Structure formats: C-alpha cells, structure tokens
C-alpha cells in the first residue's frame, strides 16, 4: 500500500505555530527536525517515495502539510485554512499535486476547511465542524465529492483542534479515539476507545500495519492485541503544537 508521501521540512520558527487548545511550552527545533527525519524513514523503509515541498520558513505551521490538501482517488482538494496565517501554505501545494497527475479543485472563499478535519473511512468522509472548518467548507466539499460516490458526514469538534486530533481509523475501518476528546462517537459505525490522547492518531501503512506516536505505549499494546503490527515514532515536539502523526504528511496511494 505504498505510494508518494508529501512532506515539508519544519520551519526554524516552529515554536511560533498557532495554538488553540494547548498552553504554549518550549519547543526544541533541533529535536523536531530529528523526529521529522525519523518519521520520514518509517515510510521510506516501506517503499514510499518521499517528496519534499519547498521550504516555507515564514510559515511556522507549514510542516503540518495535511491541512493544505486532501486527496480523494484522483482528485486533490486544496483547502482554505481557517487560520488566516496558514493560507499562504497552500499555493506551493498546487503544482506538486498537479505534477502527480491529479485533478485539482479548491475550497473557495469565504469557506474554510483544513485537512486535519477530514477523515476517510471507506467511501464515507467525516468532516469536523471545528474552529478551522466551517459549514460552508463542509458544504463545498460535499458538492465536490458526492457526485464521485463519496458520502460526507459533518461531525462536531470543540474539544480539540481538528477531527483527526480526536479520531482516526484502523485498516478495518474501526474508528479509534480517546473518549474524553470525542464528542459524537455514535456517528461512527464502529468505535474503539483508546487509553491515551496521543493514541487517537494512526497512519495506516498497510492493511495490517499502523504508525502511532511513541507517546502512546498502552494504545500500541491495545492495537497489537487486535493483531496489528504497530510502528511507533516520537513526535513530541509536534504534539506540543497540536500536531500528530497524521498531519506531518499527505499520503497519495
């Protein structure tokens, strides 16, 4: 299940990134870079082609590339971030996804949508209605996707930054999340609580392997007990800025 991994190197101004639900604490930029390199190695070792976007040192949050575009089959949807300071990150994504042969659409003003609010499970797209994604953004995405056979479901998000800060999905479609952070678990066809907030986010590497933050050892044990292979990677410096293992890349399979 390998493919192309789109990433952007962390800015030396990473510590100045936007915060919504967490208090600001010191961020070690050097450690963040080493953790980012280790994260990329997980994918490279599994045959993914790693493609770096141009550096964007003027954008502290630019490393969180998942927020700039979401890919559905052969359609790349460029977003319009709810944080105005992040909108300059999107322009450099357009030529990259176009070069992969993808059709390109976009979320147009005044709508806002960030990729961290978009969770795909089968042909259903759950979209977080958060401080970064508004009703117009959900409606615009629905207009783009429903003719292509996707079902779009809005989900309330107020306790965390993005929907995928609260929930992600395992290879079999089971949605996982730390219950105190999940507002509507009944929306999902199958929901599994996990014991740690850092365990909310997994990246599916293949149908039996997931990538998880090294900060969630109990969740790793839980998932291994379900027969999954769990690869862990430390992302502490990004977690301080409401980031996680999903938002550091865009996976084009």
Q: Which residue has the tokens 């629905």?
A: 142
- In angstroms, the CA 80 to CA 89 distance is 10
Residue 162 bears catalytic tag: yes
| 14 backbone dihedrals φ, ψ, rounded to 5° | -50, -40
Active-site pick, 59, 178, 244, 247 = 247
247 noted as active-site residue: yes
Determine which one of 21, 59, 162, 178 is catalytic.
162
Alpha helices, H only, 186-235: 217-225
Q: How many CB atoms lie within 10 A of CB 158?
A: 11
Which pair of tokens denotes residue 245? Answer: 């293992």
- 163 φψ region: left (φ > 0), alpha (ψ -120 to 50), beta (else): alpha
What radius of gyration do the chain's Cα atoms show? 17
**How far apart are alpha carbons 124 and 28 in whole angstroms?**
38
The residue among 93, 55, 54 whose CA lies nearest residue 77 is 93
∠ CA 117-80-21, rounded to 5°: 45
Phi-psi sector, 47: left (phi>0), alpha (psi -120 to 50), beta = left
Show which residues are catalytic: 162, 247
């Amino acid at each position: 299940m390998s493919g192309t991994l789109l990433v952007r190197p962390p800015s030396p101004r990473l510590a100045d990134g936007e915060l919504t639900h967490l208090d600001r604490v010191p961020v070690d930029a050097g450690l963040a870079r080493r953790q980012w390199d280790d994260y990329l190695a997980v994918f490279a070792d599994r045959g993914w082609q790693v493609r770096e976007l141009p550096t964007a040192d003027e954008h502290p949050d630019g490393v969180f590339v998942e927020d700039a575009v979401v890919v559905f089959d052969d359609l790349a949807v460029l977003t319009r971030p709810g944080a105005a300071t992040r909108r300059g990150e999107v322009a450099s994504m357009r030529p990259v996804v176009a070069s992969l042969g993808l059709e390109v659409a976009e979320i147009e003003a005044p709508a806002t949508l960030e990729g961290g609010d978009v969770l795909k499970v089968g042909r259903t797209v759950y979209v977080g209605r958060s401080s970064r994604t508004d009703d117009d953004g959900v409606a615009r995405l629905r207009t783009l996707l429903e003719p292509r056979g996707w079902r779009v479901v809005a989900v309330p998000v107020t306790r965390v930054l993005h929907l995928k800060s609260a929930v992600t999905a395992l290879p079999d479609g089971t949605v996982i999340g730390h219950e105190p952070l999940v507002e509507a678990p009944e929306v999902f066809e199958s929901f599994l609580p996990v014991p740690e907030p850092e365990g909310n986010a997994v990246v599916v590497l293949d149908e039996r392997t997931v990538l998880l933050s090294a900060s969630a050892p109990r969740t790793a044990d839980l998932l291994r007990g379900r027969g999954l292979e769990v690869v862990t990677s430390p992302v502490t410096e990004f977690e301080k800025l409401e980031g996680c293992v999903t938002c550091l890349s865009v996976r084009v399979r």
